[in-house]
Amino acid sequence: MRQKILIARAVFPEVIARLAQHFDVTSNQDDVLWTPSQLIEQLQGMQGVFTTGSERIDAALLAACPMLKICANMAVGYNNFDLDAMTAAGVLGTNAPDVLTETTADFGFALLMATARRVAESEHFLRAGLWTRWRYDMFTGSDIHGATLGILGMGRIGQGIARRGALGFGMKVIYHNRSRLDAATEAQCQATYVSKQDLLKTADHLVLVLPYSASSHHAIGAAELAQMKPTATLVNIARGGIVDDAALAVALRNKAIAAAGLDVFEGEPKVHPDLLTVPNVVLTPHIASATVPTRLAMANLAADNLIGYLLKGKPLTALNAAAPR
């Protein structure tokens, strides 16, 4: 008998077709946002689920879905998974690393440049019909080339941003990470390891690329923002919750830092109302990995994990070693 899987959100039809060659597939092409109890209801009798970062997999869901064997996330981040609960329940978790590294690093740089050079703010000004003359100080921002680029979280995406900064823009790159990179990788990225405090104090532009967990919650709050240069730019392409958004809105309004670029938010898709009213912030709706080839590669990797594990016992990018249920 064919195994059953649920695709919890809308996804590329060709990926659904691939999965349908192997499984009985239920998909959510209407992209209904299910409540946790609706998700549990949908998962009854299913062996696998294709998730995005939006579906929470926790102990309550696992207990209510005894047939479930694998949750395959179409995302590199997996803070929507309670991995300990999954391991305890014998459920495998997989993510989608590598395929989005360069695309996401590109976007980190796009947001950094838009923020430091005030692209969004000046475009709004022009569209509002306010551009009547040239002025020497109109929308003056800060330079990217030759500046000090700070990176908090130096995994694959952080390294991609470091390479872009050092090799493309002649930036001095400093980073802080839970563990220091080996010398060869540091040399390849032309990046120097510093303490978090030195990173905050020295960076002209600080990009956040660390995973979200209890220990990174509000890694950038009022105290950290106060240590940054008043001319500094902050970019968050990691996860909402790493930055204290309320504290950031205050810092932006008071010009404690010059500007911020945010692709992720605490409680997204809601955005802190104060961030919507400060001019010196560029806001994008969690699109750092959003190119067609990359999103397709992410979806195909999640599909490959479902096929690999449920049919051959061999997932490609496992997050835990779950003794099968």
**Catalytic residue positions?**
239, 268, 286
Q: Which of 6, 62, 76, 105 binds ligand 8YV (CB under 6 A)?
A: 76
Number of residues that bind ligand 8YV (CB under 6 A): 8
**Stretches 75-83, 182-190, 198-206, 267-275: which one binds ligand 8YV (CB under 6 A)?**
75-83
Residue 238 and residue 222: Cα distance in Å, rounded?
18
Minimum CB separation of residue 286 from ligand 8YV in Å reads: 6
Residue 121 or 268 with smaller CB distance to ligand 8YV: 268
Query: What residues numbered 104-143 form the site for ligand 8YV, per CB under 6 A?
Result: none
Minimal distance in Å, beta carbon 210 to ligand 8YV?
Answer: 12
Torsion, Cα 46 52 54 56, to 10 degrees, reads: 40
Beta carbons of 176 and 197 less than 8 angstroms apart: no
Q: Does 236 bind ligand 8YV (CB under 6 A)?
A: no
Pick out residues in 152-181 that bind ligand 8YV (CB under 6 A).
none
What is the rounded distance in angstroms from the CA atom of residue 265 to the CA atom of residue 126?
27
* Structural contact between residues 201 and 224, judged by C-beta atoms closer than 8 angstroms: no
x/- binding map, residues 285-304, to ligand 8YV, per CB under 6 A? ----x---------------
CB distance 102 to 159 below 8 Å: no
Question: What distances in angstroms separate CA 300 from CA 50, 55, 97, 133, 287, one per listed residue?
Answer: 11, 18, 12, 51, 18
Is residue 233 a contact residue for ligand 8YV (CB under 6 A)?
no
Q: Is 247 in the site for ligand 8YV (CB under 6 A)?
A: no
The H or E element that residue 27 is part of is: strand 24-27
Neighbouring C-alpha atoms within 13 Å toward the C-beta of 207: 33
Closest to ligand 8YV by CB, 86 vs 258, is 86
Name the site residues for ligand 8YV (rule: CB under 6 A): 52-53, 74-77, 100, 289
